[in-house]
Amino acid sequence: MNYVKTLGAALLASVAFVSAAAACEVTLRSSDTHPEGYPTVVAVQKMGEMLEERTGGKLCIEVFHSAQLGQEKDTIEQTQFGVIDMNRVSLGPFNNIIEETQVPSLPFIFRSTDHMHRVMDGPVGQQILDAFSDHDLVGLAFYDGGSRSFYNSQRPIRSIEDLAGMKFRVMQSDIFVDMVSALGANATPMPYGEVYSSIQTGVIDGAENNWPSYDSSGHFEVAQYYTLNQHLIVPEVLVMSKTSFDKLSAEEQEIVRQAARDSVPVMRDLWQEREKVSEQRVRDAGVEIITDIDKTPFIAAMVPVYQKYVTSPKLQQMVADIQATE
């Protein structure tokens, strides 16, 4: 049923943009769950401008933001099938599909955003992008997903003990489920678009995300306690359907790869600006923000998560390479 709904949405959306597509010989349809103006959306739009200029108007990108083509799990499948050409997705939903994506999704694996940038711009990042090729996808680039922290509607979280028994939405990833469980809370995997109403109706107590998502989703309206524990700094990834990619010439493929790489600094600059704006906006809304928190017990609780997921020599080496990156 999800396949039919998403396929129908993709076809309807493509019809709506026939006039825009007519300007280019090939218009690549790109999906994003975030709203218009969000840094990832703007970055892919900028990439489209680069493509149009560098191919003399042959290739363009039309970004379908605000989950017009479906939530992330559904759009990943449609991108693999070639129904959707490109997709901006968090790494979380890939954790159960592509083993290598589990490593940057591990709690507290990165020391800072700058550390994450150095890792994902280097050999480890390229190793992860290359792994998508075995799953009918082409990994193009990594975008920032910010540092993720817990927020909820019930009470301030000042220590790991305060998480006991609380229900938190997580992405549909086993790692995220086990992370929350290891902290003594209950994990509820669900699509991003269902979080607001689920908090509002008491199905869950809260979720975990970055400043811009907490702001743009309106979640701060229903969950007014935000604890800056920064348990995850998970990159997001821009992928392309291998079916769509293989239709391009070798020269066009390289232009697409380079345009994606060139969109990364655009996204990072926008992201830094957006984080500041979003943080100020939720502060002005009266959200209680807890910053004085000892992360040591949180990190210690992650030992069994690492033991469960970092099992193969390949993943163990990736973790070692990340930890050795200055």
Stretch (H or E) spanning 187: strand 186-189
Contact 147, 113 (CB under 8 A): yes
- Condensed to tens digits (0 to 9), the pLDDT of residues 122-151 reads 999 999 999 999 999 999 999 998 899 999
Percent of the chain with pLDDT over 90: 87
Averaged over 108-129, what is the pLDDT? 96
Averaged over 111-116, what is the pLDDT? 93
- Condensed to tens digits (0 to 9), the pLDDT of residues 155-176 reads 999 999 999 999 999 988 899 9
Which pLDDT belongs to residue 19? 42
- Residue spans of alpha helices (H) in the chain: 2-16, 18-21, 39-54, 72-81, 113-120, 123-131, 174-182, 195-200, 211-216, 242-245, 250-284, 296-300, 303-309, 313-324
**CA atoms of 225 and 228, how far apart (whole Å):** 10
Which pLDDT belongs to residue 138? 98
Amino acid in the structure at residue 8 = G
Averaged over 261-270, what is the pLDDT? 97
Predicted confidence band of residue 8 (pLDDT cuts 50, 70, 90): low
Which pLDDT belongs to residue 2? 46
- Condensed to tens digits (0 to 9), the pLDDT of residues 51-68 reads 999 999 999 999 999 999
Using the predicted structure, report yes or no on whether residue 194 has a pLDDT greater than 80.
yes
Using the predicted structure, report yes or no on whether residue 5 has a pLDDT greater than 70.
no
Predicted confidence band of residue 22 (pLDDT cuts 50, 70, 90): low
